[in-house]
Amino acid sequence: MSASKNGTPPPATSHTVVYNQKNLSIRIGMRDGVTGEFKLVPREQAVVSVFDSNFLVGDGIWEGIRAVRGRVQFARDHINRLFQSAKAMYMELGLTKGQLLGLIHQTLDANDMADEPHVHIRLVVSRGLKSTPYQNPHVNIGLPLIVIIPEIKAVDTAAKARGLKLGTTWVRRGPPDVKDEAWNHISKATDVQACISANMMGVDEALMLDLRGFVKTCNSVNFFIVRNGCEVWAPTKDNQMQGITRQKTIDVCRAAGLTVRELDFTLTEVYGADEAFCTGTFPSQLHVTNVDGRVIGDGKRGRVTEFIQKLYAEEVERDTGRTRDEIIAEVEAPRDMSRLEALLAKAGTSDETN
């Protein structure tokens, strides 16, 4: 059954899910920042204070994560991104990366999700409780609130097969000295405004430009084109969310021998592309059929996109095929200096000599 309630097929949005009744009775993981207590709370009782920072001033950070049969997909990348966002926002989480992953595991287990292949987790960190409605973190009490919402969300295969129609929006992606996209900040006003503009245009996603007019990203997924036969073009990583799927897509392409160029390009080059696709943790790669009324390629999923989907699925399989202990060890591992050590060894020298 699809997410649509009125019997008509749902629009082929980037996030069309297969409805799952079990989501009505999930338990939410909540770490109270004041008491430090972690609880698994039934969905309808999982509420936050009106004095919460996210609620009052949109002061929080988040991650959208997949879990496959109880294993958190690309756990190290998500947890590192969250901790980097927390540091930038001057937010002390009060736990280690391994402990945070442990809370996610507790939440999955409390929901009996060990066999579920399609869990999607929204991890939200609010700066926490405030003594009064005011933006300054000085009025905050205790540590941040951590909320872990796990739902069973399989991608609607019919929507995925249809592909996406994009329309260019007037809402631009700003530079990092306005609102750094690397913050993964909870305030998604820019994305929501672009999403509304996509709704108004009657398309699935809004295509967004930077302030110089180069193509950057969409309102909830990153964007790629394929040109010159099999060359994969990604907009440079500034002015767009630092998508984990975007990076993994680039990595698997390069590892497989495909040329990937990260560069500035224009709408004209998009309209004339052989293929285009979007990426995100929820949908993985989704082909684009149409941009601003122009059919992309032959309007169907292209062969390069199909190949990349296969490469990425294999990478997900490899990553989530590991044991939890292996994944925790990777998340907790110190900085990897093996490359430097190998180079020093090859040069017949060591750190101490310098």
Ligand X SMILES: Cc1ncc(COP(=O)(O)O)c(C=O)c1O
Smallest separation (angstroms) from ligand X to the CB of 235: 12
Beta carbons of 30 and 41 less than 8 angstroms apart:
yes
Task: Report in angstroms the alpha-carbon separations of 90 from 4, 30, 133.
Answer: 41, 21, 19
List, in sequence order, every residue forming a beta bridge with 213; answer none if it has no partner: none
Smallest separation (angstroms) from ligand X to the CB of 88: 16
Q: Looking at 73, 169, 245, 290, which residue binds ligand X (CB under 6 A)? A: 245
Residue 191 touching ligand X (CB under 6 A): yes
Nearest by Cα to 201 from 120, 285, 290, 287: 290
Residue 246 touching ligand X (CB under 6 A): yes
Residue 296 touching ligand X (CB under 6 A): no
Helix, strand, or coil here: 101?
helix
Residue 235 touching ligand X (CB under 6 A): no
Residue 13 touching ligand X (CB under 6 A): no
- Give the containing element (helix H, strand E) for 207: strand 205-209
Q: Looking at 60, 128, 280, 297, which residue binds ligand X (CB under 6 A)? A: 280
**Phi and psi of 164, rounded to 5°?**
-110, 145
Q: Taking CB under 6 A as the rule, which mask of x and - marks residues 62-101 in contact with ligand X?
A: --x-------------------------------------
Angle at 97 between CA 92 and CA 98, to 5 degrees: 140
User: Distance (Å, rounded) from C-alpha 298 to C-alpha 304?
Assistant: 13
Smallest separation (angstroms) from ligand X to the CB of 140: 26
Q: Give the residue with the Cβ less far from ligand X, 130 or 216.
A: 216
Q: Which residues bind ligand X (CB under 6 A)?
A: 64, 191, 217, 220-222, 241, 243-246, 279-281
